[in-house]
Amino acid sequence: MAHGYEHIPVEEIRAKLTELGVDEDFIKQNTKLTLVQKLIELTATADLDNAEEIADTALEPMSEDSATQFLPAFGSELWTNYMLGQLRDNELSGDAPKCDGCRRLVNTFIGPTNTFVKAYTPPNVENDRTATVVVSVECHIVNDTHPAYGTTIIVEDIADVNKYNTDEPYSKYQSATAKTRAEGRALRQILQLTDVITAEEVSQAVETVIDDRGWEPTEPITRSQVDTIDVVCKRLDIDAWAFMNSGQKQYENLLQIQKTTAAMMLNRLDAISHKTKQRPPTIGSYKINWLSQYDLSMLI
């Protein structure tokens, strides 16, 4: 099946439609196939058989080359649903895309990537067996509808994994799971998938711990927990101290907070990060020097 425009760049088709007075938003937001159909309609050069062929083409499963050819403009209204539609069955867990599926989409539809771990805190007794990993994904943009076309962008994200926020058996492999979870989040940002979370971010453990357990004191908050809360609040643009006082108990001093309490706070931040929980509406933006009044050398 063919419509005669397979080898004509989409930019030329858009330019021709602009000359014909087609609405600019329509041109920007639609796929090449839709633009070709509009061009054929306006120029009246296609007969009925050709129009039927175009309709048949739209219904056929697309190869990777065809999917790239009919790619919607990056960030358009059609973009998210189109990206999700390109995922293979083994790249989905329920309705959530897996990290490897997001990686393939980025490399196919945005540009080639390099991924590396920027920072890593291993699980230990002091941090409640929590692995924290910061992943950077470098992507050279070859999608010509992307605002950063022709440049290389770097997107970073962070994930922490422990038995409280990750289901088994993945909670037993904290470091590897945290790396995959952070990479999936970064890839999701590059793909600009709105209102979507990756499969690795979904966890019943988060819901169970947050909903069924209070913030109960045990041992003092650790330095690692403070650092992680600071990093995550900065990324989410959340006032860290206001957030830490949004639970069941109010604190006058950071050093009053206990380790179990801090673990619950980190679980809540993790849920806010992957949008299974909403940020408290009264909390303002991140304050850079909020830790300067404390002597953190007292913390383990």
Strand partners, 296: none
| Dist. CA 251–CA 243, nearest whole Å | 11
Tell me 220's DSSP state: B
Phi-psi region of 126 (alpha: psi -120 to 50; beta: other; left: phi over 0): alpha
| Dist. CA 71–CA 63, nearest whole Å | 12
Q: What is the pLDDT of residues 206-256, one digit of tens each?
A: 544 444 334 444 578 888 788 888 888 888 899 999 999 988 788 888 888
| Dist. CA 266–CA 239, nearest whole Å | 14
Tell me 258's DSSP state: B
| Dist. CA 138–CA 128, nearest whole Å | 31
Joined together, the tokens standing for residue 121 give: 């805190």
Tell me 73's DSSP state: P
The per-residue pLDDT for 203 is: 61
Tell me 36's DSSP state: H
pTM here is 0.53
Task: State which amino acid sits at residue 188.
Answer: R
Q: What percent of the chain has pLDDT over 70?
A: 80
Degrees to nearest 5, angle at CA 35 with 34 and 41: 90
Q: What is the pLDDT of residues 4-47, one digit of tens each?
A: 555 677 778 788 888 888 888 888 777 666 777 777 777 644 33
Q: How far is CA 266 from CA 98, 154, 269, in A?
A: 23, 25, 5
Which residues, at least 6 apart from 111, have a Cβ–Cβ distance to it below 8 Å? 139, 140, 141, 142, 143
- Enumerate the domain spans of the chain: 10-70, 203-300
- Between residues 35 and 132, which one has the greater pLDDT? 132
